[in-house]
Amino acid sequence: MARIERTIVLVGLMGVGKSAVGRRLAKQLDLPFVDADAEIEAAAGSSISDFFEQHGEAAFRDGERKVIARLLDGKPHVLATGGGAFMGPETRLLIKLRGISIWLNADLDTLVERVSRRNDRPLLKDGNARQILSDLMAVRNPIYAESDIVVESVNLPLGEMTVRVTEALCNWIAACPERARRPRV
Ligand code: S3P
């Protein structure tokens, strides 16, 4: 495969496995892995749930936009974004210009099961996770679908899922090796 000179950006809803798959993908591609949410927490000096509580969602989105812009300005890596990051038009444009986006898509049952393993997601704090995720899918899926590559995150072991993502990425680049080249902007 052509050397990857662009950051690989994983997008998709909460619980789909962006960080878990991203970590493994980075290992396979021999690229660093960065978790955007962890970078935001480090920059803010607080957890995302505390940040939401103290400053609200708009301030979080602002910080998220800045952190991702900074990361996309750096060396190529594998970047797991928070589920709402790709909704920001500025972030989406930057990802299109500088990165290669991969949407990990999953069905509602899979997402509901996976988010139940953690209870620190501010958007799921007050209300029924299935309803909230279903509402988010309706709004967000058409936008996630603008990604360069789409991979169905069926209930597979992480290793298997990573193989699928790697294959999809290799095929996408093989069709046009220019796609892996360093962005001009
Ligand atoms: C969010 C997803 C979270 C985190 C924040 C908001 C969202 O990240 O960024 O709670 O808007 O979907 P994960 O997708 O990694 O859970």
Structure confidence by residue, pLDDT tens digits, 90-118: 999 999 999 999 999 999 999 999 999 99
**Could you tell me how far CA 2 lies from the centroid of its own chain?**
23
Structure confidence by residue, pLDDT tens digits, 1-55: 778 999 999 999 999 999 999 999 999 999 999 999 999 999 999 999 999 999 9
Three-state DSSP at 152 gives strand
For residue 105, give both structure tokens: 């898509």
185, pLDDT greater than 80: no
Give pTM, 2 decimals: 0.97
Amino acid at 125: K
Using most ligand atoms within 8 A of CB, pick from 11, 13, 14, 116 the residue to mutate for ligand 1.
Answer: 14
81, pLDDT greater than 90: yes
Residue 11 has what DSSP assignment?
A: E
Nearest to 164 by CA among 86, 99, 106, 104: 104
String of DSSP letters for 61-120: HHHHHHHHHHHHTSS--EEEPPTTGGGSHHHHHHHHHHEEEEEEE--HHHHHHHHTT---
Q: Which residues contact 91 (CB under 8 A, 6 or more apart)?
A: 64, 65, 68, 69, 81, 85
Q: Residue 69: is it exposed, middle or buried by C-beta count within 10 angstroms (0-12/13-18/19+)?
A: middle
Contact (CB, 8 A) for 55 and 109: no
Q: Nearest residue CA, atom 1 of ligand 1?
A: 83
182 Cα to the center of ligand 1, angstroms: 28
67, pLDDT greater than 80: yes
Tell me the pairing of strands 33-35 and 78-80. parallel
Q: What is the pLDDT of residue 155?
A: 81
For residue 27, give both structure tokens: 């290992």
Backbone phi and psi for residue 71, each to the nearest 5 degrees, phi listed first = -65, -40
Structure confidence by residue, pLDDT tens digits, 112-158: 999 999 989 999 998 999 999 999 999 999 999 999 999 998 888 88
Q: What is the pLDDT of residue 138?
A: 98
Q: What is the pLDDT of residue 25?
A: 98
Q: What is the pLDDT of residue 15?
A: 94
Ligand 1 first shell, C-beta below 6 A: 14, 18, 37, 48, 82-84, 121-123
Higher pLDDT, 67 or 184: 67
Q: What is the pLDDT of residue 156?
A: 87
